[in-house]
């Protein structure tokens, strides 16, 4: 059974640009959630999608957005990048109801210069 796949693994962007990250969940999982990990703040919740609907949202500015497609794949977009957006972005998938054990991808390392 394939795990959670995140692409790309590494990205370097310039301030002011936008970026799109992709996450393919484990087959059969309908929930995808996104997290930002930085040395100073640790792991912080961005948002969660379940069956194409955003079910939960963390305390991040509107520059951070996401969506989920009918095949449960999810994308996260960050517009007008800032230096402080440099982080490891992780996505997790789960069944989303009942059994909510979360499985994580390897992450996308975003560096903003």
Partner 1 sequence: KQEVTQIPAALSVPEGENLVLNCSFTDSAIYNLQWFRQDPGKGLTSLLLIQSSQREQTSGRLNASLDKSSGRSTLYIAASQPGDSATYLCAVVWSPGGTSYGKLTFGQGTILTVHP
- Rounded CA-CA distance 113/93 in Å is 30
Minimum distance from residue 33 beta carbon to partner 1 (Å):
5
Contacts for 41 with CB less than 8 Å, ≥ 6 apart: none
Report 45-64 residues binding partner 1 (CB under 8 A): 45, 48, 50, 55-56, 58
- The residue within the footprint of partner 1, chosen from 74, 105, 110, 112 (CB under 8 A), is 105
Helix (H, G, I), strand (E, B) or coil at 84: helix
Other C-beta atoms within 10 Å of 93: how many? 27
- As measured in angstroms, the least distance from the Cβ of 16 to partner 1 is 27
Question: Least distance (Å) from partner 1 to the CB of residue 1?
Answer: 14
């Amino acid at each position: 059974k394939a795990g959670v796949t995140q692409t790309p693994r590494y990205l370097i962007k310039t301030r002011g640009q936008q970026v799109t990250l992709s996450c393919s969940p484990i087959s059969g999982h309908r929930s995808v959630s996104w997290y930002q990990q930085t040395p100073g703040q640790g792991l912080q919740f961005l948002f969660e999608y379940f069956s194409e609907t955003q079910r939960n949202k963390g305390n991040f500015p509107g520059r951070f957005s996401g969506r989920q497609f009918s095949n449960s794949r999810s994308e996260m977009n960050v517009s007008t990048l800032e230096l402080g957006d440099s982080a490891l972005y992780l996505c997790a998938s789960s069944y989303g109801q009942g059994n909510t054990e979360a499985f994580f991808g390897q992450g996308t390392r975003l560096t903003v210069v």
